[in-house]
Amino acid sequence: MKTPKYTIDTLHKEFPNDDVCLDFIFQKRYGHLDYCPKCGVITKFYRIKTRKYYKCPHCAFELYPLANTIFHKSDTPLTKWFFAIYLFSNGKNGTSAKELERHLGVTYKTAWRMAKQIRLMLQENGGMLSGIIVSSTP
């Protein structure tokens, strides 16, 4: 039986905005976490809507899902990052920075950095959502 194709329409339906993308990354990195590492209380972290992090309702411990990922310290919307990863994963030989610039509507400098980060991620063992988890408290 054939595997259903993952199309651009599917990508846009699954990840229509940055909030959904951030929730996806949070679930991939911290979905197993059902307690606060700081206070030890079994709880669910809640999202701070104006920022890109989640907080413990009991002790205000913060989790930053984008820390130590290719998205860290990037002002580029996550939807554009996800689209760029989609382009890389569907191309035979990856994607050039110039092609990313055209498809995403970003500057060449931004497209080049994104391409570099995605290539590094694909070369690493474990992928984009692995590594050391960093968080801070107020």
Q: What is the pLDDT of residues 3-59, one digit of tens each?
A: 778 888 999 999 999 999 999 999 999 888 888 989 989 988 999 999 999 999 999
CA 111/CA 52 separation, integer angstroms: 22
At a CB cut-off of 8 Å and minimum separation 6, what does 27 contact? none
Of the chain, the percentage scoring pLDDT greater than 90 comes to 59
**Quick one: pLDDT at residue 135?**
47
In this prediction, residues 96-107 reach a mean pLDDT of: 96
- DSSP-derived secondary structure letter, 84: H
Q: In the beta sheet, which residues pair with residue 42?
A: 35
Strand order in the sheet with 135-136: 46-48, 53-55, 62-63, 135-136
Distances (CA, A) of 64 to 15, 58, 79, 85, 95: 19, 17, 18, 21, 29
The dihedral formed by the CA atoms of 64, 133, 128 and 28, expressed in degrees to the nearest 10: -70
Mean pLDDT of all residues in 50-76:
93
**The residue type at 114:** M
Output the 3-class SS for 42-63. ECCCEEECCCCEEECCCCCCEE
The answer to whether 68 touches 132, Cβ cutoff 8 Å, is yes
